[in-house]
Amino acid sequence: MSTDKENVHNRIPMLRAERGVSRRDLATALGVHYQTIGYLERGEYSPSLHLALRIAEYFEVPVEVVFSLHPFPRLGSPS
């Protein structure tokens, strides 16, 4: 589990919802436990570089689209 200081923000729930992928499906595709996906989505666990790259590869987007050190802007916000 990561502390607030080393928190990595992610868009996994959004990407998952957009592509209609369940937590279980994503976990199976990545070869991790479904709870790991849940903890990642909640921001309670920061993935290794390897897992982060595999998640980005699964969604076919660059890694910075999925993960960021700063909170992602809300949809419809100016920035």
Partner 1 sequence: MTVMRESTMSKRSKRDERLQKLMEQDVPARYRSHKGRLRLVALGVGCLALFWAASVVCWLLAPSTTAMVSTFVLCGVGLAAGAWVFGTLILVSGVSGRIPEHLLDERQLQQRYRAHADAHRASLLLVFVTCFVVLILMGDHDHVSAAAVVVTFFALLASIAALPYLIATWKMTDPPAIDEEP
| Interface residue list for partner 1 (CB under 8 A) | 1, 13, 17, 22-24, 31-39, 41-42, 44-45, 47-48, 50-51
Nearer to partner 1, 51 or 65 (CB): 51
Contact criterion met (CB below 8 Å) for 34 and 42 = no
Cα–Cα distance measured from residue 8 to residue 1, given in angstroms and rounded to the nearest whole number: 11
Element (H, E) at 73: none
Work out how close the CB of 79 gets to partner 1 at its nearest, in angstroms, rounded to a whole number: 22
Nearer to partner 1, 6 or 78 (CB): 6
Work out how close the CB of 5 gets to partner 1 at its nearest, in angstroms, rounded to a whole number: 17
**Local structure of 3: helix, strand or coil:** coil
Nearer to partner 1, 13 or 72 (CB): 13
